[in-house]
Amino acid sequence: MNRADEDDFRSFVAARSPSLLWFAHLLTGDRYAAEDIVQTALAKTAAGWSRVRRKDNPEGYVRRAIVNTHLNAVRRRPWREQPREHIPEDVDSRSREHELDDRDSMWHALAGLPPRQRAVLVLRYYEDLSESDIADVLGCSRGTVKSQAAKGLLHLRRIVQKEDAST
């Protein structure tokens, strides 16, 4: 990496790290895992930064690297994130009575989704990507994106309804 690329990459990391970390946090639900995959994705990008920086959307390229890094890591270590039908009672219980209860419940319901379904929903409802763009990022068909999104939403709806019924 030459000096100009180095300066540009440093500026990019400084400016976009908070946004990239937020995105990674939504994907993983774990702040340390988020920091880990963002650094790994940026490290992968660094070598080819002179090429990446000339793209229309370098940040989109990095976000795609983040998604793939996360899904690859989950595939290698499946025990780290296992979907559970029943969300365990833990820290979420403390905030049920507060005004942000619903979001907290939704955040914990997201933790019960398989990583790929969660990624589809984050790309759809946070990144506002189209189905074909999501399919491009994840390397799958539009039909798969559609079905994954539908399954994910169904799971979330069930959890939210269960929460409502219990309160």
Partner 1 sequence: MTDVEKLLRDTLADPRHRLEPLPGMYEGVRERARHRQQRIVQLASAVTVVVVIAGVATAVRLSTNSPREAQPTASLSASPPAHAQFNRVDIGAGSTGFLSVTPYVIFLAQTHPNGLIAVSPSDLSIAKQIATPDAVDGTAVDRVAGLVWTWSSTQPADASGDSAADSTSIHAYQTSTFAMDGAVTLPAYTFSAVALDGKLWLATSGGLYVVGTGSDGTKSATKVVDGSVSSVAADAPRHRILFGVFVETPTASSTTTDSNTIGIVAVHAVDAANHHVTTVGTPLPVGKESIAVVDGQVWVAGFGSDSLLIHLDAKTLRPIGAGASGLGKLDLGPGAIVWPGESVVWVRAGGSEALSCFDPKTGAVLEQWDTVQGPVASVVGRAYAASDGSLEQLSLAGGCKG
Report the C-alpha gap between 131 and 112 in whole angstroms: 22
The binding track of 129-148 with respect to partner 1, each residue x by CB under 8 A or -, is --------------------
> What does the DSSP assignment read for 106-165?
HHHHHTTS-HHHHHHHHHHHTS---HHHHHHHHTS-HHHHHHHHHHHHHHHHHHHHHHHH
Binding flag, residue 32, partner 1 (CB under 8 A): yes
Other beta carbons within 10 Å of 54: 8
The binding track of 49-78 with respect to partner 1, each residue x by CB under 8 A or -, is ------------------------------
Residue in 57, 126, 141, 150 binding partner 1, rule: CB under 8 A: 126
User: How many residues form the binding site for partner 1 (CB under 8 A)?
Assistant: 48
**Candidate ranges 52-60, 106-114, 130-138, 139-147; the one touching partner 1 (CB under 8 A):** 106-114
Q: Residue 59 in contact with residue 22, Cβ under 8 Å?
A: no
Q: Residue 142 in contact with residue 120, Cβ under 8 Å?
A: no
Q: Which is nearer to partner 1, 102 or 139 (CB)?
A: 102
Residue in 83, 100, 143, 150 binding partner 1, rule: CB under 8 A: 100
φ, ψ of residue 54 to 5 degrees: the values are -85, -5
> What does the DSSP assignment read for 21-61?
HHHHHHHHS-HHHHHHHHHHHHHHHHHTHHHHTTSS-HHHH
Binding flag, residue 22, partner 1 (CB under 8 A): yes
Binding flag, residue 99, partner 1 (CB under 8 A): no
Residue 117 Cβ vs partner 1, minimum distance, rounded to whole Å = 12
Binding flag, residue 88, partner 1 (CB under 8 A): yes
Residue in 66, 71, 110, 135 binding partner 1, rule: CB under 8 A: 110
Residue 143 Cβ vs partner 1, minimum distance, rounded to whole Å = 20
